[in-house]
Amino acid sequence: MTGELRTRLGIDAPDDFYEALIEAHAGLSEDESMRLNARLILLLANHVGERAILDQAIAAAKAADRS
């Protein structure tokens, strides 16, 4: 069975998380931030594990670019 990417709110205390995410980047250069984000993505991707979900996440992230 392949799962589906959950896009309804799943984060506990979302405003707290958002603040923590921004705070993690405080004082970092752009390069350092890019590397931090890369580590974060890899850790989260491994936690999710399921390839179908990860592929949907990549597609959803690409599709959301409105610039």
Length of the chain: 67
Q: Give residues 5-64 in contact with other proteins (rule: CB under 8 A).
A: 31, 34-35, 37-39, 41-43, 46
Cα–Cα distances in angstroms (integers) from residue 18 to residues 21, 34, 51, 59, 63, in the given order: 5, 17, 25, 22, 21
**Nearest distance from C-beta of residue 15 to other proteins, angstroms:** 27
**Nearest distance from C-beta of residue 9 to other proteins, angstroms:** 27
- Contact footprint for other proteins (CB under 8 A): 31, 34-35, 37-39, 41-43, 46
